[in-house]
Amino acid sequence: MKNELKSMFTEHWKYLAVNAACELELFDRIFEGQNSLNKLIQSNSWDSKSLSNLLEFLLLDGYLNKVQEQNIALTDKSNLLRKNNPEGLYYACLNWSGEHLISWQNLKHTIVTGDSSFEYIYKKPYFEYLNNEPTKLIDYHKAMFEYAIDDYKELPNIVDFSRHSSIMDVGGGFGAAISIIQNNNKNISCFLFDLEEVINHSPSSSVEKIGGDFFNEIPKCSEAIILSRVLHDWNNEKSKVILSNCKSALPMNGTLYVIENCTDKVPTNLSLLSLNMAAMCQSFERNSKEYISLCESCGFKFKESRQLNELQTILIFEI
């Protein structure tokens, strides 16, 4: 039992070593030909001993292979961590260091007070902070997009969106969900709604992009709205503002699709994820009954739920 605890104390070393490799764009450099310790040192003037230790760990943990006595090559795992791999997880890897890590180091503040440790440290709510840091805002949405293209790939197979003539992804970031829907339903008018500074960097080219703030007003341009992984970022009071604006934007008999990690619908315990939401946003992961109650309090009628994947549930509402 002591050995188990001792190992647990330093588990974060592995992630931070891989994170450092990503920050250095190490896997891209190896892919592009700096495929030995000597070549990496000569090209970048890095410390030879520290780099040697990093490469040794990456070899032992399956991120690199030795292909000759001195040369190294990427594995399938490290190929996913190349910055220039459009199907990779480079930005997702970077997302959990920096401010996230510092907030977790101050988790005691959240547990004692119920307040966000992020806001305690940085003096601003998380998303307000991001909105004032353009590079970090875009990197965050790149990370979320990397998760989303996997999470939402089965969305058109779970829900028949063809019954709608138009649909809008509210707070949709770079538009992974709505782009997947559009690619499978060419006749639907699809809209992506998020902050101007977000949609201006979105790679989604098949949907119409509308800039705005869902706390102020949501445009009346679709008969269905998707809120995907939006509400879990906000407490009940702010979630109700978003939901009320969604209701105002929808026509009579309009449909709302809420996609979330419902704690009662998944086999995985989400307590640590919920702690992360509390530390970062003073929010939490809810169960399906809590989401249904939240939406019904804003005038929506619950229709049904469908499981999207191992984590996400689709809750379907109508007005």
pLDDT in tens, 192-218: 999 999 999 998 888 999 999 999 999
Tens digit of each residue's pLDDT (9 = 90 or more) over 83-121: 999 999 999 999 999 999 999 999 999 999 999 999 999
Tens digit of each residue's pLDDT (9 = 90 or more) over 229-264: 999 999 999 999 999 999 999 999 999 999 999 999
pTM: 0.94
Torsional class of 299: left (φ above 0), alpha (ψ -120 to 50), beta (otherwise): left
In angstroms, the CA 231 to CA 240 distance is 9
Helix H or strand E encompassing 133: none
In angstroms, the CA 81 to CA 97 distance is 15
- The 3-state DSSP class for residue 282 equals coil
CB of 229 within 8 A of CB of 288? no
